[in-house]
């Protein structure tokens, strides 16, 4: 065999082995970072997104980072016929399902929109998987399923608490639907319970794009530092925590993205112990709102205009992950700290 022929054969083998992964919501904040990490790990990616909470530019920016343009289909996952048509024309080896509405406050005002979108799309995807024998499903879940946990850090053995919002409920119900489907149809899935994802890719080509006034702490901080918002309201300083402000586990979005690759590989390599598993994806470190503000001021060199106000309704005192099980079972751990995450969030804000 000539050298050239050998090269061609190897390329063909690589192509044959390359797994094709559907990423729904792949142009969103966590989705876009996960697409890049999938490409870095040798997966072929096809994205479905309805562009309801992002823009098509993100596709170009993913391509600029990885050098590979993923296939893209603008599909609203509430439309069953469109999902069906997609699967008639595409084969995939696994699905990472991000597409969902995610604003807690809005979900209280529009619960039916949240159930229709977050639950409907999930059911339609699982039906297609069952009908076509597609396996390997990764679901975006949330630490909100624990509510205010009785013990910190929060392990996977902590009980789930009744959801505080329709949004949180869609994550709890979503996990139940997946668990029952895995059992009935012999499929395999992993739910990743995210703590608080923040930051941006080091290229500063992709990041978080909040629509309107940000509800989450980090985009509100960076917009305040930019002068887009007058001042940050710190919601409550009378919590039983280190300085009275609420404590959360802020995880760099790239570390979070990598947890999806680890979970997907666990399923593809059949290393999972049960049909349906769930893992906490956080850093293991809790930070108070005031600690985040201080770290941000250090990372950006700017002093932040803030004032203490009353507690925000529905907020819990403290949540941070025990990552022991995720570290061991997924063979994954975080590589970036809060300072690096805030530095990237600030650089991303400066670029907007
Ligand atoms: C963080 C802390 C606020 C804004 C989010 C999602 C939730 C789940 C986890 C996905 C809290 C305080 C905030 C502000 C403030 N994710 N804060 N001033 O509440 O932990 O929840 O992540 O499922 O669904 O909503 O995140 O960023 O809103 O707040 O003082 O202007 O910052 O009170 O203590 P939260 P957050």
Strands 250-252 and 196-198: parallel
Positive or negative: CA dihedral 256, 259, 260, 261? positive
CB of residue 235 inside a 6 A radius of ligand 1:
yes
Angle at 207 between CA 321 and CA 123, to 5 degrees: 65
Atom of ligand 1 nearest to the CA of 316: 34
pLDDT for the residue numbered 17: 75
CB of residue 196 inside a 6 A radius of ligand 1:
yes
Atom of ligand 1 nearest to the CA of 232: 31
Smallest CA separation from ligand 1 atom 2, residue: 217
Atom of ligand 1 nearest to the CA of 220: 31
- pTM, to two decimals: 0.95
Per-domain boundaries in the chain = 19-347
Q: Which homologous superfamily does the CATH classification assign to the domain defined by 19-347? A: NAD(P)-binding Rossmann-like Domain (3.40.50.720)
Contact 39, 45 (CB under 8 A): yes
Per-residue pLDDT of the chain (352 residues), as tens digits, is 455 555 554 544 454 579 999 999 999 999 999 999 999 999 999 999 999 999 999 999 999 999 999 999 999 999 999 999 999 999 999 999 999 999 998 999 999 999 999 999 999 999 999 999 999 999 999 999 999 999 999 999 999 999 989 999 999 999 999 999 999 999 999 999 999 999 999 999 999 999 899 999 999 999 999 999 999 999 999 999 999 999 999 999 999 999 999 999 999 999 999 999 999 999 999 999 999 999 999 999 999 999 999 999 989 999 999 999 999 999 999 999 999 999 999 999 999 9
Give the H or E element holding residue 45: strand 44-49
CB of residue 232 inside a 6 A radius of ligand 1:
yes
306 is an active site residue: no
CA of 194 to the centre of ligand 1 (A): 12
Catalytic-role residue among 114, 124, 146, 167: 167
């Amino acid at each position: 065999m000539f050298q050239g022929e050998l090269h061609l054969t190897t390329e063909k083998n690589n192509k044959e082995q390359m797994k094709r992964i559907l990423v729904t919501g792949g142009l969103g904040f966590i989705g876009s970072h996960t697409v890049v990490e999938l490409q870095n790990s040798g997966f072929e990616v096809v994205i479905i997104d309805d562009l309801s909470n992002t823009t098509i530019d993100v596709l170009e920016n993913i391509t600029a980072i990885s050098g590979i343009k993923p296939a893209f289909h603008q599909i609203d996952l509430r439309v069953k016929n469109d999902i069906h048509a997609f699967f008639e024309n595409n084969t995939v080896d696994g699905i990472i399902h991000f597409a969902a509405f995610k604003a807690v406050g809005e979900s209280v005002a529009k619960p039916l929109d949240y159930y229709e979108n977050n639950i409907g799309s999930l059911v339609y995807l699982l039906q297609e998987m069952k009908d076509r024998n597609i396996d390997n499903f990764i679901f975006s879940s949330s630490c909100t399923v624990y509510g205010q946990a009785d013990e910190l850090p929060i392990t996977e053995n902590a009980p789930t608490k009744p959801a505080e919002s329709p949004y949180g409920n869609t994550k709890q119900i979503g996990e139940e639907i997946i668990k029952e489907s895995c059992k009935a149809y012999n499929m395999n899935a992993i739910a990743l319970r995210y703590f608080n994802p923040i930051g941006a890719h080091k290229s500063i080509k992709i990041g978080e794009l909040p629509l309107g006034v940000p509800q989450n702490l980090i985009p509100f901080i960076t917009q305040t530092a930019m002068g887009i918002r007058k001042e940050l309201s710190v919601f409550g300083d009378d919590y039983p925590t280190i300085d009275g402000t609420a404590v959360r586990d802020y995880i760099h979005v790239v570390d979070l993205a990598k947890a999806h690759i680890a979970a997907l590989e666990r399923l593809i390599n059949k290393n999972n112990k049960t049909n349906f598993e769930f893992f906490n994806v956080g850093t293991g470190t809790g930070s108070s709102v005031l600690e985040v503000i201080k770290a941000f001021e250090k990372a950006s060199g700017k002093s932040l205009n803030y004032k203490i106000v009353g507690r925000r309704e529905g907020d819990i005192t403290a949540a941070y992950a025990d990552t022991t099980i995720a570290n061991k079972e997924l063979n994954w751990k975080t590589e970036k700290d809060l300072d690096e995450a805030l530095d990237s969030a600030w650089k991303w804000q400066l670029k907007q």
